[in-house]
Each structure stands twice: as C-alpha cells, then as structure tokens.
Amino acid sequence: MTYATFPLGRIAGIRIGAHWSVLIVLGLLAWLLATAVLPVGAPDSTPVANWAAGIVSAAVFLASLLAHEMCHALVARRYGLRAERITLWLLGGATELPDEPPTPRAQLLVAVAGPAASLLVGGIFLGGAVLAAPVLPAVVSVSLVWLGWSNGVLAAFNLLPGTPLDGGRVLEAIAWRVTGSRDRARRIAGAGGQVLAAAVAAFGVWELLIRGDATGFWLIGMSWFLALAARGEMSAAPLREVLARIRLREVMSTDLVTAPGWYTVQGFLDQAARTRFRTFPVVSFGGAPVGVVSLSALSRVPSSARTSVRIEDICVKPPACLVASPDAPLSEVFSRARLRPGQDLVLVVDRGVLVGVAAPGDLARVLELTALGVRPGHDAGSVK
C-alpha cells in the first residue's frame, strides 16, 4: 500500500496518505447516497441537492474513518509505540504500528480506541440529526443519520473477533492475558481471522448469487484480504516462538568499547580508529548508558566542528536507540526495532548499568542459526 498513494499531509506528526482506490469508495458512497438513500429518505429533495449532500457525506465519512485510525495511532503513542503513517484505501484505513504493544492492556486499548472513536463520532452525528431535525432540510438530516449509522456499522464490523480486525487484536489481548503467551494468543486471533474470512466470503457469495447484490463482490474482496492477513500472522508465529525462548543475555556481546559522551568527536575518533567496531555505546561521565554513536554519525560532523562537538550531542538516544534488559526475549527485541547494520545497536542495561550490546549482525546470526535448527551459543563475541 506504499505505492500509488498520495500524501494528504500530517496530523500530530503522523503522515496521512490515501491510496487511489479511496476515490472508488468516495464515488460509490456518493452514488449510493444520491441515488438510493436520499431519494427515499428525503423525497422532496432535488437530484442536485442529493448529489451535493452525497459527495459531502462520503467525504465526511472518510474523515471519520481517519478519526478512527488517528485514535489507534494516538493511543499507541501514549504507550511509547511508533505510529508512522495512516493510509486510507479501498477497504478502509490502515495505521502502520511497527512496534508490538508491551502489555495485553496496551494492546487492548490501542485496538479498542478506533471503534470507540467511530461509535463516538456516529453518536454525535445521530444526536445532531435528532436535535437539529426541526430546522434542517430533510436531505441534511438523512445524511447525518446515514453518517451516524455508517460509523456504527464501521465500529461493529471492526470489532469482529479475528486478525487483522480490531476485534482480533482485542481477542489477542484477552487471550494473551489469560494464557500468558503472546504467541498462543496470536494464533488464536489468527484462527479467528480465518474463520471470519470464510464467513465473510460465504456471505459475499450469498449476496451475489442469491440476492443479486453487487456488494457481494466487495465482501469477497474483503474476505480475501482478511484471509491473507490472518495467514501471514499465523505463519510468523513459530519463529517468533523460538525467539521468545532466547534471552538477550545469551546473544549479547560483552566485549565492547564505549564512547565517553563528554569527549569531543575528534577526541573519540582517535580511539575509535583503533577498534574494529562501527557502532559504540555512549556512556556518561558517571558510567550510565546514554545512547549509541556510529562512525557514520561521526562522519556527518564537519571537520571544522570536530573539536567542539561532543559525542553526547550527536549520539542517538532512547527511544530512537533501543534499550533492553538482559532478560528480554529476542522476539521482543526484533519486534521493537528495525536495526540497520553499522548504525544501530541494542543497549543491554541491567539496573542502570550497561552490561552488553547486541548489533544487527548478532541478531541476524541468531535468526540464521535458528532457521538451521541450532540454538545460538553464548560466546558470540563480535559486534559488526
């Protein structure tokens, strides 16, 4: 969904985009309203008024879809999770949340936020329609009722219990809480998604063949998307399960060269040149871990500034740099960050003390060994 997407700007720092297919939705909804809903609900209204109200209502509906996605993103942010981009497309909205929620509670609240927003928005539209009915033209009242109703349906559909719908995440959070295993919970929600996909497909076929209703096509398309997403979720589980059993302390490097944060770039360069490392954990004068600095970050400092800029000023600090406890399962480390070789390093910190680091190379090695069915050994000594 990253291509064929046009940017619509940023809200609260989150990039908003729309896939071209959203125009189909806009057109279909406007057409549905102008030709089927409004002529019945407001029989005295003219076709021009119906089309105008239809187009405006379809656009407002897309805006309320955006509100749904924004609420997912904002709650995710409250838990320190990255929320990068929201894309509106043919089948609704999608919020990119690359990080895994840290607890079942966080997962539950992030998932519930979207449908809650839809219900609230829908309630406001319905309330507005009822309160303002005496003064508004019928075509506007009917549009408001339709908006309220559609947002309610949106909330209800999204709460169906299967991955990748919000209800699937809710189910996953509850199962995670009950079983204590995120991976089992994920499989349960994935299975829910597959059952759901089959049910939606069957309903779509019934709509199409028995009732002769073209929305069947849309439902079949939706079921295909649901099935693919649910399967992707389930096939990722076994590797994640293995990684969940390996602790960071088993693969981290303890042989490391730290960069003193109070050193100037020039001062540290002389020291860095004598090591084989490309990335370094930065420590404060008191020895506390501060962040990570890479040779590539050092190279971006103009040579005239090397004697005045301090390492502390240019190092990458949390949350941009990953800090984890030695007992953190690798599955968590992998899900929290995309690590770039030569630039990123996981700081392994125990009670405020830096006890080791894990570089992308270390983690890639674990992945490769795991894929070969070999459990990675302890003395993996190199940081590359």
Identity of the residue, 111 or 357, whose beta carbon is nearer to Zn ion in the bound complex: 111
Neighbouring residues of 339: CB distance < 8 A, sequence distance ≥ 6 = 322, 345, 346, 359, 360, 363
Per-residue binding letters, 22-61, with Zn ion (x by CB under 5 A) = ----------------------------------------
Residue that the structure tokens 């994935």 belong to: 190
Sign of the CA dihedral with 91 first, then 6, 69, and 237 last = positive
Q: Which residue is nearest to Zn ion (CB)?
A: 114
Neighbouring residues of 326: CB distance < 8 A, sequence distance ≥ 6 = 247, 248, 249, 252, 348, 350, 355, 356
> What element of type H or E holds 16?
strand 14-19
Asked if 192 is part of the footprint of Zn ion (rule: CB under 5 A), the reply reads no
User: Footprint of Zn ion on residues 59-118 (CB under 5 A)?
Assistant: 114
User: Footprint of Zn ion on residues 262-281 (CB under 5 A)?
Assistant: none
Give 376's DSSP letter.
P
Per-residue binding letters, 143-182, with Zn ion (x by CB under 5 A) = ---------------x-------x----------------
Nearest approach in angstroms of CB 86 to Zn ion is 10
Q: Is the peptide bond before 341 cis (omega within 30 degrees of 0)?
A: no
What whole-number distance in Å separates Cα of residue 169 and Cα of residue 157?
13
Decide if 69 is catalytic. yes
Nearest approach in angstroms of CB 157 to Zn ion is 10
Identity of the residue, 170 or 243, whose beta carbon is nearer to Zn ion in the bound complex: 170
Identity of the residue, 76 or 339, whose beta carbon is nearer to Zn ion in the bound complex: 76
Distances (CA, A) of 26 to 6, 142, 152, 171, 213: 15, 18, 18, 31, 19
Nearest approach in angstroms of CB 322 to Zn ion is 27
What whole-number distance in Å separates Cα of residue 161 and Cα of residue 174?
11
Which residue in the list 69, 172, 312, 332 is annotated as catalytic?
A: 69
> What element of type H or E holds 272?
helix 265-272
Identity of the residue, 156 or 242, whose beta carbon is nearer to Zn ion in the bound complex: 156
Neighbouring residues of 374: CB distance < 8 A, sequence distance ≥ 6 = none
What whole-number distance in Å separates Cα of residue 173 and Cα of residue 176?
5
Nearest approach in angstroms of CB 275 to Zn ion is 47
**DSSP labels for 318-370?**
TTTS-EE-TT-BHHHHHHH--PPTTT--EEEEETTEEEEEE-HHHHHHHHHHH
Nearest approach in angstroms of CB 188 to Zn ion is 19
Identity of the residue, 17 or 114, whose beta carbon is nearer to Zn ion in the bound complex: 114
Identity of the residue, 166 or 207, whose beta carbon is nearer to Zn ion in the bound complex: 166
Nearest approach in angstroms of CB 152 to Zn ion is 14
Which of the residues are catalytic?
Answer: 69
Q: Where on the chain is the footprint of Zn ion (CB under 5 A)?
A: 114, 158, 166
